[in-house]
């Protein structure tokens, strides 16, 4: 039986449920999959889907100096492969344009990957077109194995165009999950490679996010505002805290945040400075079961995504689909990927990024209008169920992988 090799930046990761649910769904359709991870996991929890995946991850040396003998043995094996010198020359060319430690270690990781590939491997598939795809690209050149890629958000917008263009020239096909990313990749690709690029929404597994139980949220007491996401610049949590601080005094609210991230302590300090800390619960990272409970207990979901200074941005955040699957009214920013999911005024409210006043106004509007909350929640639920089901994307991926024979 043929075997697919999925190359990931890190595994398992709480923030990459869409990858885990894809792997599990493909396993259920009979594919044999190996997972190769460039980094060790850092999250304290895992989602239920991670425990259901049969594939056991194999970790490449995160830093080459940590496993010198493994790297050396692998390099010797890779050195005798017919495509080694082609890969080496490509890596030198890339290193001269991108002289970073990150680029330097990708070739060593590729050699380890190649040396340890199972004999029945038929395809390499990278998730993210930046660092995982770099190691995969070099492994492809060394081995001649076919390769493909799933591109998402940060990887598209923070990678140099030359890097993406040259990878597109050698892979068989690429899928991406937003029209914004799809159009950008087609724009920078060579004309001969544009048809390799395909738009596939990753969708949601509704068996894990079934219709919420019928109940009427208690309209007494504070309204509960929820956000789920890592505390990183592109999530715009500083803007969200500013917006919460602008809420009128008569509004009774509580804000709950789920997620880890490097900016978490800074955000807690900002909440203290804004004198709203007493209204906020910082829950930290949590598994999917806990997140589902939080959706069902909340009144409003908010995501204040923006474009970070390095170009990083959200694509189509899974958490917005998850919130809508639980009949939550959502407020978000009108980044292109988000606007592909949320229809302004019909299935949610969209405001400009980095505009706390507008965000605060949208929250006030929902807080004061329970009927609007219910209307948006129901419409969002219907749209995400009809247009963003996991099965659509998996059907397409299954067809592509089965074409390998």
**Fold match, 3-203+389-402 / 223-387:** yes
Give residues with Cβ within 8 angstroms of 48, minimum separation 6.
208, 287, 288, 289
pLDDT digit string, tens, across residues 170-182? 999 999 999 999 9
Is it the case that residue 333 has pLDDT exceeding 80? yes
Confidence of residue 250 (pLDDT cuts 50, 70, 90): very high
The pTM for the full model equals 0.92
For residue 220, the model assigns a pLDDT of 73
Is it the case that residue 1 has pLDDT exceeding 80? no
Confidence of residue 101 (pLDDT cuts 50, 70, 90): very high
**Average of per-residue pLDDT across 21-36:** 96
**Average of per-residue pLDDT across 77-106:** 96
For residue 404, the model assigns a pLDDT of 78
**Average of per-residue pLDDT across 74-79:** 96
pLDDT digit string, tens, across residues 349-402? 999 999 999 999 999 999 999 999 999 999 999 999 999 999 999 999 999 999
Return the closest-CA partner of residue 19 out of 31, 10, 32, 28: 10
**Average of per-residue pLDDT across 247-272:** 97
What percent of the chain is modeled with pLDDT above 90? 93
Please give the radius of gyration of the chain, using alpha carbons only, rounded to the nearest integer: 22
pLDDT digit string, tens, across residues 282-291? 999 999 999 9
**CATH superfamily of domain region 223-387:** Glycogen Phosphorylase B; (3.40.50.2000)
**Average of per-residue pLDDT across 164-172:** 98
Confidence of residue 111 (pLDDT cuts 50, 70, 90): very high
For residue 221, the model assigns a pLDDT of 82
Confidence of residue 405 (pLDDT cuts 50, 70, 90): low
Task: Show the 3-state SS of 14-64.
Answer: HHHHHHHHHHHHHHHCCCEEEEEEEECCCCCCCCHHHHHCCCCEEECCCCH
Could you state, in order of their start, the residue ranges of all structural domains in the chain? Answer: 3-203+389-402, 223-387
For residue 213, the model assigns a pLDDT of 86
pLDDT digit string, tens, across residues 129-158? 999 999 999 999 999 999 999 999 999 999
CATH code that applies to domain 3-203+389-402: 3.40.50.2000
């Amino acid at each position: 039986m043929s075997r697919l090799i999925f190359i990931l930046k890190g595994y398992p990761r709480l923030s990459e449920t869409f990858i885990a649910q894809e792997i599990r769904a493909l396993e259920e359709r009979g594919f044999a999959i190996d997972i190769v991870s460039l980094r060790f996991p850092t999250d304290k929890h895992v989602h239920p889907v991670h425990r259901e995946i049969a594939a056991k991850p194999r970790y490449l040396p995160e830093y080459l100096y940590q496993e010198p003998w493994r790297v050396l043995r692998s390099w010797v094996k890779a050195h005798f492969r017919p495509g080694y010198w082609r890969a080496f020359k490509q890596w030198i060319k890339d290193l001269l344009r991108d002289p970073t430690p990150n680029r330097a270690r990708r070739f060593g990781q590729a050699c380890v990957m190649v040396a340890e590939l199972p004999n029945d491997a038929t395809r390499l598939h990278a998730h993210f077109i930046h660092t995982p795809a770099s190691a995969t690209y070099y492994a492809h050149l060394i081995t001649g194995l076919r390769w493909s890629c799933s591109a998402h958000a940060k990887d598209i917008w923070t990678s140099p165009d030359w890097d993406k263009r040259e990878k597109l020239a050698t892979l068989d096909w690429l899928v991406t999950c937003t029209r914004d990313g799809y159009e950008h990749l087609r724009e920078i690709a060579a004309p001969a490679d544009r048809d390799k690029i395909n738009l596939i929404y990753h969708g949601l597994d509704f068996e894990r996010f079934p219709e919420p139980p019928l109940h009427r949220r208690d309209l007494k007491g504070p309204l509960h505002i929820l956000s789920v996401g890592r505390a990183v610049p592109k999530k715009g949590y500083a803007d969200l805290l500013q917006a919460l601080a602008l809420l009128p005094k008569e509004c009774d609210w509580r804000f709950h945040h789920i997620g880890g991230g490097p900016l978490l302590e800074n955000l807690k300090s900002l909440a203290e400075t804004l004198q709203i800390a007493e209204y906020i619960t910082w829950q930290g990272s949590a598994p999917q079961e806990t997140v589902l409970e939080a959706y069902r207990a909340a009144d409003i979901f908010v995501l204040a995504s923006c474009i970070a200074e390095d170009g990083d941005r959200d694509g189509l955040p899974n958490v917005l689909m998850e919130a809508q699957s639980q009949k939550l009214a959502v407020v978000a920013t009108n980044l292109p990927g988000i606007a592909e999911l949320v229809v302004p005024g019909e299935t949610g409210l969209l405001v400009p990024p980095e505009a706390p006043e507008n965000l605060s106004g949208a929250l006030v509007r929902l807080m004061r209008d329970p009927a609007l909350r219910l209307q948006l929640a129901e419409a969002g639920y219907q749209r995400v169920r009809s247009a963003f089901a996991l099965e659509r994307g998996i059907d397409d991926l299954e067809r592509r992988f089965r074409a390998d024979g």
